[in-house]
């Protein structure tokens, strides 16, 4: 770690300790809501950001299963521990200029201390399932990061896509239960999931998304399947 980071981390750690009480993991669990949409607590279950499992003492930008680290983070030389994580949560852009995490930081030192107390326990090997079971993200369809996303390998007939047609500004998605649903083109998102929970090849999944009934995702096993599955037909 270069001299700049050592000085910056030391100053942040000193200022934080001067005003923050010891972290409270229960409060930190509530604070984890801001992290959960992008970060899982399960080993190698990466989302928008890398899994946080085993975070302590890991070199920044080094998780082998995550391929979207910024060059700035990979070359930073940072080792994640209490001090460096506190500095990162305070102001990621100041700590690592040109990093790509869309997060402005947590200015309140007590909130950071609470979040770090939770993460230190929740990211230990074997801890994530128990911590997740107690979390406030359950019941949110598994889409908040702390819970499981649905396994799309085995689908109910109303989720398994049979055909997709496109006409003017409308997609019509027919599932294997025989029902056809119409979606305005901006209300249907086309995604891929090549992981273990993703759909079987050639069997895309229709998954509700958002707060409106007319919004959904069609999730494919690979990018090349998308154009093949959509037929322009009115």
pLDDT per position as a tens digit, 107-164? 999 999 999 999 999 999 887 554 554 444 443 333 334 445 678 998 899 999 999 9
pTM for this one?
0.63
Exposure string of 94-120, with b = 16+ CB inside 10 Å and e = fewer, is ebbeebebeeeebeebbbbbbbbbbbb
- Per-residue pLDDT band for 9 (boundaries 50, 70, 90) equals low
Residue 78 has pLDDT above 80, yes or no: yes
- Per-residue pLDDT band for 37 (boundaries 50, 70, 90) equals confident
Rounded distance, CA 146 to CA 36, Å? Answer: 6
Task: Indicate the CATH number for domain 3-133.
Answer: 1.10.760.10
What residue has token string 């107690």? Answer: 134
Rounded distance, CA 32 to CA 231, Å? Answer: 42
Residue spans of the domains in the chain: they are 3-133, 161-232
Q: 106 is written with which tokens?
A: 């947590």
Q: What is the pLDDT of residue 142?
A: 38
Q: What is the pLDDT of residue 165?
A: 96
């Amino acid at each position: 770690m270069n001299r700049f980071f050592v000085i910056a981390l030391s100053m942040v750690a000193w200022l934080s300790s001067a005003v923050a009480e010891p972290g409270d993991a229960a409060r930190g669990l509530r604070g984890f809501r801001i992290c959960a949409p992008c970060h899982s607590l399960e080993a190698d279950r990466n989302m928008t950001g890398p899994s946080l499992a085993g975070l302590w003492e890991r070199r920044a930008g080094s998780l082998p299963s995550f391929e979207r680290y910024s060059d700035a983070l990979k070359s930073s030389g940072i080792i994640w521990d209490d001090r460096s994580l506190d500095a990162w949560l305070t102001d990621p852009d100041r700590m690592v200029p040109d990093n790509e995490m869309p997060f402005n930081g947590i200015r309140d030192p007590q909130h950071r201390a609470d979040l770090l107390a939770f993460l230190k326990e929740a990211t230990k090997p074997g801890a994530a399932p128990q911590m997740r079971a107690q979390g406030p993200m359950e019941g949110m369809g598994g889409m908040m990061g702390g819970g499981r996303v649905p396994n799309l390998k085995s689908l109910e007939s109303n989720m398994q896509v049979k055909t997709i047609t496109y006409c003017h500004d409308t997609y019509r998605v027919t599932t294997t239960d025989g029902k056809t649903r119409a979606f305005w083109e901006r209300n249907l998102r086309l995604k891929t999931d090549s992981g273990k929970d993703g759909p079987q090849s050639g069997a895309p999944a229709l998954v509700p998304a958002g707060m409106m009934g007319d919004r959904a995702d069609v999730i494919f096993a690979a990018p090349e399947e998308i154009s093949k599955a959509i037929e322009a037909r009115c």
